[in-house]
A = this chain, B = another copy of it.
Amino acid sequence: MQNFVFHNPTKIVFGRSTIPSIGMEAAVFGNRALLVYGQNSIKKNGVFEQVTASLAKAGIMFVEHSGVCSNPLLSHVRAGIAKVREHDLQVIVAVGGGSVIDAAKAIAAGSLADGDVWDFFSGKQVIKAALPITTVLTLAATGSEMNASMVVTNDETQEKFGFKSPFLFPKVSILDPETTFTVPPNYTAYGAADAIAHVLEAYMSTKDEDVPVQMDFMEGLIRNAMQSCERCLVNPSDFGGRAALMWTATLALNGLTVAGLGQTAFPMHMIEHSLSALYNVPHGAGLSVVMSGWLRWRLKQDANRIARLGRHVFGLTGDSADADLAEQTVNALRNWFSTVGCPVTLAELNIPTGDINKIAENALALAQLWQLDEYTQERIEEVLAYCQ
Protein backbone atom coordinates (compact mmCIF):
# COMPACT_ATOMS: atom_id res chain seq x y z
CA MET A 1 0.00 0.00 0.00
CA GLN A 2 1.22 3.49 -0.83
CA ASN A 3 1.19 6.44 1.57
CA PHE A 4 -1.98 8.53 1.45
CA VAL A 5 -3.95 11.29 3.11
CA PHE A 6 -7.69 10.69 3.31
CA HIS A 7 -9.78 13.59 4.50
CA ASN A 8 -13.34 13.92 3.28
CA PRO A 9 -15.31 16.34 5.43
CA THR A 10 -18.54 16.34 3.39
CA LYS A 11 -21.61 15.61 5.47
CA ILE A 12 -24.01 13.25 3.68
CA VAL A 13 -27.69 13.35 4.56
CA PHE A 14 -29.19 10.33 2.83
CA GLY A 15 -32.72 9.02 2.44
CA ARG A 16 -36.38 9.73 2.08
CA SER A 17 -37.80 13.16 2.90
CA THR A 18 -34.39 14.68 3.55
CA ILE A 19 -34.66 17.59 1.09
CA PRO A 20 -36.55 19.86 3.51
CA SER A 21 -33.40 20.02 5.64
CA ILE A 22 -31.47 21.94 2.95
CA GLY A 23 -32.50 25.33 4.37
CA MET A 24 -31.27 24.53 7.85
CA GLU A 25 -28.02 23.06 6.51
CA ALA A 26 -27.33 26.01 4.20
CA ALA A 27 -28.22 28.61 6.84
CA VAL A 28 -25.12 27.57 8.81
CA PHE A 29 -23.09 29.30 6.10
CA GLY A 30 -25.14 32.40 5.41
CA ASN A 31 -28.57 33.76 4.56
CA ARG A 32 -27.89 34.90 0.99
CA ALA A 33 -27.64 32.03 -1.48
CA LEU A 34 -27.10 31.38 -5.17
CA LEU A 35 -29.52 28.64 -6.20
CA VAL A 36 -27.90 26.77 -9.09
CA TYR A 37 -29.87 24.29 -11.16
CA GLY A 38 -30.33 22.96 -14.66
CA GLN A 39 -33.40 22.82 -16.80
CA ASN A 40 -36.97 22.31 -15.77
CA SER A 41 -36.85 18.73 -14.49
CA ILE A 42 -36.63 19.76 -10.83
CA LYS A 43 -39.75 21.86 -11.31
CA LYS A 44 -41.64 18.89 -12.71
CA ASN A 45 -40.74 16.43 -9.94
CA GLY A 46 -41.37 18.77 -7.03
CA VAL A 47 -37.76 19.10 -5.90
CA PHE A 48 -37.58 22.82 -6.75
CA GLU A 49 -40.61 23.52 -4.63
CA GLN A 50 -39.25 21.56 -1.67
CA VAL A 51 -35.90 23.32 -1.86
CA THR A 52 -37.23 26.86 -2.20
CA ALA A 53 -39.78 26.30 0.58
CA SER A 54 -37.01 25.06 2.85
CA LEU A 55 -34.73 27.99 2.03
CA ALA A 56 -37.56 30.44 2.69
CA LYS A 57 -38.39 28.76 5.98
CA ALA A 58 -34.75 29.04 7.04
CA GLY A 59 -34.77 32.75 6.23
CA ILE A 60 -32.45 32.43 3.25
CA MET A 61 -32.82 34.93 0.41
CA PHE A 62 -31.74 33.36 -2.87
CA VAL A 63 -30.91 34.38 -6.40
CA GLU A 64 -31.66 31.80 -9.08
CA HIS A 65 -29.05 30.67 -11.57
CA SER A 66 -30.69 28.08 -13.79
CA GLY A 67 -29.79 26.63 -17.15
CA VAL A 68 -26.75 24.54 -16.34
CA CYS A 69 -26.48 22.05 -19.20
CA SER A 70 -24.85 18.62 -19.17
CA ASN A 71 -21.16 19.38 -19.69
CA PRO A 72 -21.49 22.78 -17.98
CA LEU A 73 -20.16 25.78 -19.84
CA LEU A 74 -17.60 28.31 -18.70
CA SER A 75 -19.71 31.22 -19.96
CA HIS A 76 -22.55 30.11 -17.71
CA VAL A 77 -20.19 29.73 -14.76
CA ARG A 78 -18.96 33.28 -15.31
CA ALA A 79 -22.54 34.51 -15.31
CA GLY A 80 -23.07 32.80 -11.97
CA ILE A 81 -19.98 34.44 -10.52
CA ALA A 82 -21.31 37.81 -11.64
CA LYS A 83 -24.57 37.18 -9.77
CA VAL A 84 -22.72 36.21 -6.59
CA ARG A 85 -20.77 39.45 -6.73
CA GLU A 86 -23.71 41.61 -7.66
CA HIS A 87 -25.86 40.32 -4.80
CA ASP A 88 -23.04 39.66 -2.31
CA LEU A 89 -24.09 36.03 -1.87
CA GLN A 90 -22.58 33.85 0.85
CA VAL A 91 -23.41 30.25 0.05
CA ILE A 92 -24.14 28.14 -3.02
CA VAL A 93 -27.10 25.75 -3.10
CA ALA A 94 -26.75 23.38 -6.05
CA VAL A 95 -29.75 21.25 -6.99
CA GLY A 96 -29.21 18.70 -9.71
CA GLY A 97 -26.77 16.11 -11.00
CA GLY A 98 -23.03 16.21 -11.43
CA SER A 99 -23.09 18.99 -14.02
CA VAL A 100 -24.98 21.32 -11.73
CA ILE A 101 -22.72 20.54 -8.78
CA ASP A 102 -19.62 20.94 -10.93
CA ALA A 103 -20.87 24.32 -12.15
CA ALA A 104 -21.59 25.30 -8.55
CA LYS A 105 -18.05 24.39 -7.53
CA ALA A 106 -16.59 26.48 -10.33
CA ILE A 107 -18.78 29.42 -9.31
CA ALA A 108 -17.77 28.95 -5.66
CA ALA A 109 -14.11 29.02 -6.64
CA GLY A 110 -14.39 31.89 -9.11
CA SER A 111 -16.41 34.12 -6.81
CA LEU A 112 -13.50 34.52 -4.41
CA ALA A 113 -10.78 34.66 -7.08
CA ASP A 114 -8.84 37.73 -8.08
CA GLY A 115 -8.44 36.71 -11.71
CA ASP A 116 -10.63 34.79 -14.11
CA VAL A 117 -11.95 31.39 -12.98
CA TRP A 118 -10.51 29.61 -16.04
CA ASP A 119 -7.04 30.32 -14.70
CA PHE A 120 -7.68 27.58 -12.10
CA PHE A 121 -8.42 25.10 -14.89
CA SER A 122 -5.45 26.01 -17.02
CA GLY A 123 -3.14 25.94 -14.01
CA LYS A 124 -2.28 29.66 -14.16
CA GLN A 125 -3.70 30.36 -10.72
CA VAL A 126 -4.01 28.32 -7.51
CA ILE A 127 -7.26 28.33 -5.57
CA LYS A 128 -7.03 29.81 -2.07
CA ALA A 129 -10.67 29.93 -1.00
CA ALA A 130 -14.18 29.17 -2.18
CA LEU A 131 -17.72 29.94 -1.12
CA PRO A 132 -19.33 27.13 0.91
CA ILE A 133 -21.27 24.69 -1.28
CA THR A 134 -24.36 22.72 -0.32
CA THR A 135 -26.09 20.33 -2.68
CA VAL A 136 -29.29 18.41 -3.31
CA LEU A 137 -28.44 15.54 -5.65
CA THR A 138 -30.92 14.38 -8.30
CA LEU A 139 -28.81 11.95 -10.34
CA ALA A 140 -26.65 8.98 -9.33
CA ALA A 141 -23.54 9.32 -11.44
CA THR A 142 -20.56 11.58 -10.97
CA GLY A 143 -19.82 11.49 -7.26
CA SER A 144 -19.33 15.27 -7.31
CA GLU A 145 -21.58 15.50 -4.24
CA MET A 146 -18.81 14.07 -2.04
CA ASN A 147 -15.57 15.04 -3.68
CA ALA A 148 -13.40 18.04 -4.35
CA SER A 149 -13.21 17.99 -8.15
CA MET A 150 -15.19 19.26 -11.09
CA VAL A 151 -15.07 19.64 -14.82
CA VAL A 152 -16.22 22.53 -16.99
CA THR A 153 -16.19 23.02 -20.76
CA ASN A 154 -14.69 26.22 -22.13
CA ASP A 155 -17.16 27.14 -24.86
CA GLU A 156 -14.65 29.43 -26.54
CA THR A 157 -11.84 26.88 -26.90
CA GLN A 158 -13.86 23.63 -26.73
CA GLU A 159 -11.63 22.38 -23.93
CA LYS A 160 -13.24 20.26 -21.19
CA PHE A 161 -10.93 20.73 -18.23
CA GLY A 162 -11.19 20.18 -14.50
CA PHE A 163 -9.36 20.73 -11.25
CA LYS A 164 -9.69 19.79 -7.63
CA SER A 165 -9.10 21.45 -4.29
CA PRO A 166 -10.04 20.70 -0.66
CA PHE A 167 -11.97 24.00 -0.74
CA LEU A 168 -14.44 22.40 -3.14
CA PHE A 169 -15.77 19.60 -0.94
CA PRO A 170 -19.47 20.33 -0.50
CA LYS A 171 -20.17 21.13 3.13
CA VAL A 172 -23.39 19.13 3.00
CA SER A 173 -24.96 16.97 0.32
CA ILE A 174 -28.52 15.76 0.53
CA LEU A 175 -29.15 12.48 -1.28
CA ASP A 176 -32.78 11.46 -1.62
CA PRO A 177 -33.01 8.43 -3.94
CA GLU A 178 -36.66 9.26 -4.66
CA THR A 179 -35.53 12.30 -6.65
CA THR A 180 -34.08 9.85 -9.19
CA PHE A 181 -37.31 7.87 -9.76
CA THR A 182 -38.01 10.06 -12.81
CA VAL A 183 -34.55 9.71 -14.38
CA PRO A 184 -35.15 8.00 -17.75
CA PRO A 185 -33.66 4.53 -18.41
CA ASN A 186 -30.82 5.72 -20.65
CA TYR A 187 -29.59 8.34 -18.18
CA THR A 188 -29.92 5.86 -15.32
CA ALA A 189 -27.59 3.52 -17.21
CA TYR A 190 -25.21 6.35 -18.17
CA GLY A 191 -24.97 7.17 -14.47
CA ALA A 192 -24.07 3.58 -13.65
CA ALA A 193 -21.48 3.65 -16.45
CA ASP A 194 -20.00 6.80 -14.96
CA ALA A 195 -19.67 5.19 -11.53
CA ILE A 196 -18.14 2.06 -13.07
CA ALA A 197 -15.67 4.21 -15.03
CA HIS A 198 -14.57 6.02 -11.86
CA VAL A 199 -13.83 2.74 -10.14
CA LEU A 200 -12.28 1.16 -13.21
CA GLU A 201 -9.81 3.99 -13.78
CA ALA A 202 -8.39 3.41 -10.29
CA TYR A 203 -8.64 -0.38 -10.55
CA MET A 204 -6.75 -0.47 -13.83
CA SER A 205 -4.20 2.24 -13.19
CA THR A 206 -2.80 1.34 -9.79
CA LYS A 207 0.82 0.27 -10.05
CA ASP A 208 0.67 -1.19 -6.54
CA GLU A 209 -0.62 -4.77 -6.71
CA ASP A 210 -0.72 -5.14 -2.93
CA VAL A 211 -3.91 -3.20 -2.15
CA PRO A 212 -6.33 -6.02 -1.30
CA VAL A 213 -8.72 -3.91 0.80
CA GLN A 214 -9.19 -1.42 -2.02
CA MET A 215 -9.46 -4.06 -4.78
CA ASP A 216 -12.19 -5.85 -2.85
CA PHE A 217 -14.02 -2.58 -2.21
CA MET A 218 -13.80 -1.54 -5.86
CA GLU A 219 -15.05 -4.88 -7.15
CA GLY A 220 -18.01 -4.62 -4.79
CA LEU A 221 -18.83 -1.16 -6.10
CA ILE A 222 -18.79 -2.31 -9.74
CA ARG A 223 -21.02 -5.29 -8.92
CA ASN A 224 -23.39 -2.98 -7.08
CA ALA A 225 -23.45 -0.38 -9.85
CA MET A 226 -24.48 -3.09 -12.30
CA GLN A 227 -27.00 -4.86 -10.09
CA SER A 228 -28.67 -1.68 -8.87
CA CYS A 229 -28.83 -0.28 -12.39
CA GLU A 230 -30.62 -3.41 -13.54
CA ARG A 231 -33.12 -3.07 -10.70
CA CYS A 232 -33.83 0.56 -11.61
CA LEU A 233 -34.44 -0.35 -15.24
CA VAL A 234 -36.92 -3.05 -14.26
CA ASN A 235 -38.70 -0.74 -11.84
CA PRO A 236 -37.77 2.97 -11.90
CA SER A 237 -39.44 3.45 -8.51
CA ASP A 238 -37.54 0.65 -6.75
CA PHE A 239 -36.30 2.63 -3.76
CA GLY A 240 -33.71 0.03 -2.76
CA GLY A 241 -32.26 -0.10 -6.26
CA ARG A 242 -32.17 3.69 -6.59
CA ALA A 243 -30.60 4.01 -3.13
CA ALA A 244 -27.93 1.40 -3.87
CA LEU A 245 -27.06 3.06 -7.18
CA MET A 246 -26.89 6.50 -5.58
CA TRP A 247 -24.68 5.44 -2.67
CA THR A 248 -22.49 3.36 -4.98
CA ALA A 249 -21.92 6.31 -7.30
CA THR A 250 -21.02 8.51 -4.34
CA LEU A 251 -18.55 5.99 -2.91
CA ALA A 252 -17.05 5.40 -6.34
CA LEU A 253 -15.32 8.77 -6.37
CA ASN A 254 -15.07 10.08 -2.82
CA GLY A 255 -11.40 9.24 -2.38
CA LEU A 256 -11.80 5.90 -0.64
CA THR A 257 -11.20 3.69 -3.66
CA VAL A 258 -7.91 5.40 -4.51
CA ALA A 259 -6.55 5.86 -0.96
CA GLY A 260 -3.36 3.80 -0.85
CA LEU A 261 -3.14 3.11 -4.58
CA GLY A 262 -0.50 5.73 -5.23
CA GLN A 263 -0.71 7.74 -8.41
CA THR A 264 -3.80 6.80 -10.40
CA ALA A 265 -4.66 8.01 -13.87
CA PHE A 266 -7.87 8.80 -15.72
CA PRO A 267 -7.06 8.01 -19.36
CA MET A 268 -10.62 6.94 -20.21
CA HIS A 269 -11.97 10.20 -18.86
CA MET A 270 -9.28 12.07 -20.76
CA ILE A 271 -10.51 10.67 -24.07
CA GLU A 272 -14.18 10.94 -23.15
CA HIS A 273 -13.80 14.61 -22.28
CA SER A 274 -12.98 15.20 -25.93
CA LEU A 275 -16.08 13.34 -27.03
CA SER A 276 -18.33 15.47 -24.84
CA ALA A 277 -16.48 18.69 -25.62
CA LEU A 278 -16.68 18.15 -29.37
CA TYR A 279 -20.03 16.37 -29.74
CA ASN A 280 -21.81 17.18 -26.46
CA VAL A 281 -22.61 13.52 -25.81
CA PRO A 282 -23.76 12.56 -22.32
CA HIS A 283 -20.66 11.92 -20.21
CA GLY A 284 -21.70 8.41 -19.13
CA ALA A 285 -22.53 7.42 -22.71
CA GLY A 286 -19.14 8.64 -23.89
CA LEU A 287 -17.53 6.67 -21.10
CA SER A 288 -19.23 3.37 -21.93
CA VAL A 289 -17.85 3.70 -25.47
CA VAL A 290 -14.34 4.58 -24.33
CA MET A 291 -14.27 1.90 -21.59
CA SER A 292 -15.28 -0.76 -24.09
CA GLY A 293 -12.52 0.24 -26.48
CA TRP A 294 -9.81 1.10 -23.93
CA LEU A 295 -10.11 -2.21 -22.07
CA ARG A 296 -9.80 -4.15 -25.33
CA TRP A 297 -6.77 -2.01 -26.22
CA ARG A 298 -5.20 -3.00 -22.85
CA LEU A 299 -6.00 -6.72 -23.16
CA LYS A 300 -2.41 -7.79 -23.69
CA GLN A 301 -0.68 -5.54 -21.17
CA ASP A 302 -3.24 -5.99 -18.37
CA ALA A 303 -4.52 -9.51 -18.96
CA ASN A 304 -4.07 -10.49 -15.30
CA ARG A 305 -5.95 -7.60 -13.86
CA ILE A 306 -8.75 -7.74 -16.40
CA ALA A 307 -9.07 -11.47 -15.74
CA ARG A 308 -9.34 -10.74 -12.01
CA LEU A 309 -12.13 -8.31 -12.79
CA GLY A 310 -13.84 -11.06 -14.73
CA ARG A 311 -13.56 -13.52 -11.87
CA HIS A 312 -14.67 -11.17 -9.11
CA VAL A 313 -17.26 -9.08 -10.92
CA PHE A 314 -18.59 -11.21 -13.77
CA GLY A 315 -18.32 -14.52 -11.96
CA LEU A 316 -16.10 -16.01 -14.66
CA THR A 317 -14.53 -19.25 -13.57
CA GLY A 318 -12.60 -22.09 -15.07
CA ASP A 319 -8.97 -22.84 -15.61
CA SER A 320 -8.60 -20.76 -18.73
CA ALA A 321 -5.47 -18.71 -19.06
CA ASP A 322 -5.74 -15.10 -17.94
CA ALA A 323 -5.61 -13.97 -21.56
CA ASP A 324 -8.76 -15.93 -22.37
CA LEU A 325 -10.57 -14.82 -19.23
CA ALA A 326 -9.60 -11.22 -19.89
CA GLU A 327 -11.11 -11.36 -23.35
CA GLN A 328 -14.28 -12.87 -21.94
CA THR A 329 -14.36 -10.08 -19.36
CA VAL A 330 -14.13 -7.32 -21.94
CA ASN A 331 -16.92 -8.96 -23.92
CA ALA A 332 -19.03 -9.38 -20.78
CA LEU A 333 -18.72 -5.73 -19.83
CA ARG A 334 -19.44 -4.61 -23.38
CA ASN A 335 -22.48 -6.87 -23.56
CA TRP A 336 -23.70 -5.61 -20.25
CA PHE A 337 -23.47 -2.00 -21.44
CA SER A 338 -25.47 -2.91 -24.53
CA THR A 339 -28.07 -4.71 -22.47
CA VAL A 340 -28.73 -1.67 -20.27
CA GLY A 341 -28.78 0.73 -23.22
CA CYS A 342 -25.29 2.23 -23.07
CA PRO A 343 -23.51 2.71 -26.39
CA VAL A 344 -20.29 0.80 -27.02
CA THR A 345 -19.20 2.31 -30.35
CA LEU A 346 -18.55 5.81 -31.67
CA ALA A 347 -21.12 5.10 -34.37
CA GLU A 348 -23.82 4.71 -31.72
CA LEU A 349 -22.94 8.25 -30.59
CA ASN A 350 -23.22 9.41 -34.22
CA ILE A 351 -19.53 10.29 -34.25
CA PRO A 352 -17.96 9.65 -37.66
CA THR A 353 -14.88 7.43 -37.47
CA GLY A 354 -13.21 9.86 -39.84
CA ASP A 355 -13.03 12.25 -36.86
CA ILE A 356 -10.67 10.04 -34.85
CA ASN A 357 -7.72 12.22 -35.73
CA LYS A 358 -9.51 15.38 -34.63
CA ILE A 359 -10.70 13.80 -31.35
CA ALA A 360 -7.19 12.60 -30.56
CA GLU A 361 -5.81 16.09 -31.14
CA ASN A 362 -8.30 17.50 -28.65
CA ALA A 363 -7.54 14.77 -26.08
CA LEU A 364 -3.82 15.32 -26.45
CA ALA A 365 -4.08 18.74 -24.79
CA LEU A 366 -5.60 17.10 -21.72
CA ALA A 367 -3.02 14.29 -21.80
CA GLN A 368 -0.33 16.93 -21.53
CA LEU A 369 -2.13 18.84 -18.76
CA TRP A 370 -2.68 15.61 -16.80
CA GLN A 371 0.87 14.46 -17.51
CA LEU A 372 -0.28 11.23 -19.14
CA ASP A 373 2.85 11.23 -21.24
CA GLU A 374 2.39 7.75 -22.65
CA TYR A 375 -0.72 8.99 -24.45
CA THR A 376 0.67 10.33 -27.71
CA GLN A 377 -1.55 11.33 -30.59
CA GLU A 378 -0.89 7.93 -32.15
CA ARG A 379 -1.83 5.97 -29.02
CA ILE A 380 -5.03 7.93 -28.48
CA GLU A 381 -5.96 7.20 -32.09
CA GLU A 382 -5.25 3.52 -31.42
CA VAL A 383 -7.66 3.52 -28.46
CA LEU A 384 -10.29 5.32 -30.53
CA ALA A 385 -9.87 2.75 -33.29
CA TYR A 386 -10.91 0.12 -30.72
CA CYS A 387 -14.03 2.19 -30.02
CA GLN A 388 -15.47 1.53 -33.46
Contacts and interface: CB of A to CB of B under 8 A. Distances in A.
A11 interface: yes
Given A6-B14, A18-B3, A224 B243 contact: no
A119 interface: no
Given A1-B239, A217-B217, 15 more contacts: A1-B15, A1-B177, A3-B17, A4-B12, A7-B9, A7-B12, A14-B259, A14-B260, A210-B244, A211-B244, A212-B228, A213-B248, A213-B251, A217-B220, A247-B260
A61 to B, nearest CB: 27
Interface residues of A, number: 42
A16 B1 CA distance: 10
A216 B212 contact: no
Most buried by B among A211, A212, A247: A212
Contacts of A243: 1, 260
A3 B8 contact: no
A2 interface: yes
A231 to B, nearest CB: 9
Assembly stoichiometry (copies): 2
Interface in A207-248: 210-213, 216-217, 219-221, 223-224, 227-228, 239-240, 243-244, 247-248
A137 to B, nearest CB: 14
A4 B11 contact: no
A5 interface: yes
A4 B9 contact: no
Interface string A1-38: 11111111111111111100000000000000000000
Contacts of A4: 12, 14-15
A42 B260 CA distance: 25
A239 B2 CA distance: 10
A16 B219 CA distance: 26
B212 A224 contact: yes
A177 B211 CA distance: 14
A11 B166 CA distance: 12
Given A213-B248, A251-B213, A3 B9 contact: no
B210 A216 contact: no
A243 B260 CA distance: 9
A279 B65 CA distance: 64
Contact of A3 (B16, B221, B251): B16
